[in-house]
Structure 1
Amino acid sequence: MSSRTEPDNKAIGQRIRAERKKLNLSREEFAEIIGLSDYYVGQLERGERQMSLPVLVKIAKCLHISLDYLVFGKIPSAEPSVNEPHDNYTSLSDEELNELLGKCSSKELELIKKLIKVVLPYVNIE
């Protein structure tokens, strides 16, 4: 890696595209999940735009990658565990889940399905 002080937008965009594709998300689906326009995501992936810190964080969280990797291409030495205890976690009963899903439109249900597909590979239930 060079000692550049400015982030390389083209390299960041390439990492975004590669990680998005690993999750089998279209650019449109990814843009919808992170709340940005498809056009803007395309500009980011081509390295044509520099994004704000909140956008960087949103993208890194969605793609399950570190900011260090996203910005500089540095692969972290140890991944945080997904199975760490969560004190604020409460389980939903099947009835509660069905009630919540029953209130969703077909478009919302499709988005939920895609979100589950993104998250499931990172959940390790023993």
Structure 2
Amino acid sequence: MNEIKKILNYKDVGLRIRLEREKLGLSREKFAELIGLSSFYIGQLERGDRKMSVDTLANISKTLNVSVDYLLYGYNYYMENIKVSEAIDDIYRVSIDNEIKELLDILKGSSKEQISLLKDIYKLILPSIKK
């Protein structure tokens, strides 16, 4: 349990809750009413003075239309992973595109017989490369 205290900064979580609530133009009282909690309890959460249950966190997240990971850590872990994955895919595509371009450049300067020979060689070595 002590590890969770080190990982989560409850004051930051509370600040993000307050900022998102204010972005929606909700008073603490109106927000508390929407999620079925007291405004006093919401104040404690927003100051980081009190921990909340997973159910309360999920309810707050849904009401504020933000992800739980954003409330807890300040970013959307899922979206960050998608961005990283897309960046890796882009790098891979560029790398493959460059390889294909290089192969096409080689083939452009080759005769029909050379291309046929290269194709046969490729077919022969492909099974051993795939292993």
Q: 2:84: which partner in 1?
A: none
Residue aligning to 1:35: 36
Tell me the TM-score normalised to structure 2 length.
0.54
Alpha-carbon shift at residue 75 of structure 1 (Å): 3.0
Residue identity in the other structure for 2:69: D
Cα distance between partner residues in 2 of 1:45 and 1:19: 11
Name the residue aligned to 1:72: 73
User: For 2:51, what is the secondary structure of its paired residue?
Assistant: coil
Shift of 1:74: 1.5
Q: How does 1:103-122 map to 2 (within 5 A)?
A: none
* RMSD of equivalent CA atoms: 1.4
Number of aligned residue pairs: give it. Answer: 75
Q: Which runs of 5+ in 2 are unaligned?
A: 80-131
Higher relative contact order (CA 8 A, sep 6+): 1
Alpha-carbon offset, residue 76 of structure 1: 5.0
Task: Give the alignment's TM-score, normalised by structure 1.
Answer: 0.56
Alpha-carbon distance, 1:77 to partner: 5.8
Q: Percent identity?
A: 52
Distance 2:71 2:40 in 1: 20
Separation (CA, whole Å) in 2 of partners of 1:59 and 1:50: 13
Give distance in 2, aligned partners of 1:22 and 1:76: 21
Q: Which has the larger radius of gyration?
A: 2
